[in-house]
Amino acid sequence: MSSGLHNLSTVLKRLEAVASRLEDVYNVSQTAQVIHDEPDPNAQARAAAAAAAGPPPVHPPPPPAPVEQPLSVIAFEAQIMQGKVKPFIKLTDALAVPSVIEQAKKTGDLFNTLNGLIKTAGACKKPDPNAFAELLLGFQPDIESITKIKDSSKERDWVHHLSMLSEGASCIGWVAENKPGPFVNDIKDSSQFYGNRIIQNFKEKDPKHVEWVRAYMEILDELKKYIMEHHTTGLVWNAKGITISQYQASAGGGPPPPPPPPPAVIPAPNSGAPAGGHAALFADLSRGEDVTKGLRKVDKNEMTHKNPALRGGSTVPSTPGTSAVAPKKPIKPSKPHALMGKKPSKFALEGSKWVIEYQENEKSLIVENGELNQIVSLFGCKNSTIVIKGKVNAVTIVNCTKTSVLVGSVIASVSVTNSPSFTLQITGSAPTIQLDSTDSGQIYLSKDCLGVEITTAKCSSINVSLPVEGEEDGVFEEKPVPEMLRTLIQGGKLVTTVVEHVG
């Protein structure tokens, strides 16, 4: 009995503990509810601050990735502009008089314009000749300024400096040449003429002038090297590029022009209509008697066998109800090439270049007193004789036929291109004779010109007449230039020799 009471008291104590625990939990939950229902005094302040701050800032989209420039553009900027032109201008500022400094700055502007043209070519497809000519007009102001500075300067001690820069400015013209490398080399030779005089005059007095000349010549050498690497046969354009107008619009900040509208949709022809030609003919024949329903009845006054007055003409006058079709005008035949207008001839000294063009049947054209910086250019002459007196820088003969050239001495080279049946006589000396795409030519050399180097490409029937030793002047021995070559493979290389005929 006592054990049962003990168990009952134990159960009651446990129930009291559970009830007390439940009361504590209930009180805590009520307190939390009261705290949650009370308003937050700082809530309105935080909301007002958020409203005043406005929406979060919108960050602009990242700029587009820069377009990768062609290697030719990067190379010109690094090799020419940064590597040669800017150091030359800096050297000029520390050495020269104001007129030469100004001329050097104009030279830098000229190369900057060239840099812009190269960037344009790297981004654009090749334009038509008119658009390209407009681009070349950008060089004109700087070239005129360089020439004007030289002509107006009164600095006698700096005349060769000004002349050297003026002659070298023409190197920009390589962008319009098919063989830009040799073109720049010719311009360098003309400029080097004045550079050599500067070196001769200042070699002992002030070696900085010698350094200045060499710095400018390095520009031309580096330009030729750059051209032979990136623009061997002329200025290279981007075949997949945009047009010039689109490039100029994007460079100026404006949007590119919209693309052209799509072509109009032409409705497909009705499959039920007969096609032209034989199909239309058979379709009409299959109509039977209905084929004549569209014909007009001919009146008696329109019948030639009933109206003798109509027999004198080849056409029947139209009636008021019919419309006459105007006969087609005959096509005017084009003139044959031989009857086309003859281009005007030209014989003039333009700067340091003798321009002789389209001379025909002229036997007494003489270039008097040729100078070391002058180039003689013959183009399109026919059956003519040109005499060049003095010592000139170079002679070029292009697209001439049966043309004879007598020249004294040449510093650089004599070049003959696509000029059949030519005759060339050198009475002085010349280091190089270049023949290209020319057939049937005769070359006479003097005793002073026996060290010349003759190069030929795609030529035939070329003979060289050499003076006979021990004989009087005018006695020559003719030697043919070999045309037959033999090529062997030796050690993985091609070895070419001239085929010699014995017997």
- 159-168 and 180-202 helices, crossing angle to 10°: 170
Check residue 34 and give left, alpha or beta (phi > 0: left; psi -120 to 50: alpha).
Answer: alpha
Written as six digits, the tokens of 285 are 């024949």
C-beta neighbour count of 219 within 10 angstroms = 21
Nearest Cα residue to 373 out of 105, 231, 187, 176: 187
**Helix H or strand E segment including 356:** strand 353-357
Give the per-residue pLDDT at 269: 46
Q: What's the residue count for the chain?
A: 503
CA atoms lying within 13 Å on the CB side of residue 36: 6
> What's the distance, CA 114 to chain centroid?
11
Q: Which 3 state secondary structure label does DSSP give 179?
A: coil
SS (H, E, C) 441-479: EEEEECHHHCCCEEEEECCEEEEEEEECCCCCCCCEEEE
Domain coordinates of the chain in residue numbers? 71-231, 346-498
Q: Which 3 state secondary structure label does DSSP give 191?
A: helix
Query: Is the pTM here over 0.85, yes or no?
Result: no
Give the per-residue pLDDT at 277: 52
Determine the Cα–Cα distance for residues 86 and 311; give it in Å rounded to an integer. Answer: 89
Determine the Cα–Cα distance for residues 16 and 22; give it in Å rounded to an integer. Answer: 10
Give the per-residue pLDDT at 290: 62
Determine the Cα–Cα distance for residues 394 and 396; give it in Å rounded to an integer. Answer: 7
Q: Which residues contact 410 (CB under 8 A, 6 or more apart)?
A: 391, 392, 393, 394, 395, 426, 428, 429, 430, 431
What one-character DSSP code corresponds to residue 241?
-
Determine the Cα–Cα distance for residues 387 and 389; give it in Å rounded to an integer. Answer: 6
Determine the Cα–Cα distance for residues 15 and 9; give it in Å rounded to an integer. Answer: 10
CB 379 within 8 A of CB 356: yes
- Helix spans in 38-158 (H): 43-53, 71-75, 86-93, 98-123, 129-136, 140-152
C-beta neighbour count of 203 within 10 angstroms = 11
Query: Which CATH number is 346-498 given?
Result: 2.160.20.70
Assign a CATH topology to domain 71-231: 1.25.40
Determine the Cα–Cα distance for residues 299 and 303; give it in Å rounded to an integer. Answer: 7
> Any idea what the Cα angle at residue 166 is, between residues 160 and 172, rounded to 5°?
145
Q: What is the pLDDT of residues 102-130, one digit of tens each?
A: 999 999 999 999 999 999 988 898 988 88
Q: What is the pLDDT of residues 247-275, one digit of tens each?
A: 888 765 444 444 445 554 444 444 444 44
Determine the Cα–Cα distance for residues 193 and 167; give it in Å rounded to an integer. Answer: 10
Written as six digits, the tokens of 68 are 């990768």
**Helix H or strand E segment including 121:** helix 98-123
Give the per-residue pLDDT at 246: 86
DSSP string, 195-232: HHHHHHHHTTT-HHHHHHHHHHHHHHHHHHHHHHHH-T
Q: Which phi and psi (to 5°) does residue 373 adopt?
A: -95, 5
Written as six digits, the tokens of 32 are 């939390």
Written as six digits, the tokens of 112 are 């900057």
Q: Which 3 state secondary structure label does DSSP give 174?
A: helix
Q: Which 3 state secondary structure label does DSSP give 6?
A: helix
Q: In the chain, which residues have pLDDT < 50? A: 1-5, 32, 34-37, 64-66, 253-260, 264-275, 321-324, 332-340, 503
Q: b/e per residue, 250-270, with b = 16+ CB within 10 A?
A: eeeeeeeeeeeeeeeeeeeee
CB 482 within 8 A of CB 498: yes
Determine the Cα–Cα distance for residues 119 and 113; give it in Å rounded to an integer. Answer: 10
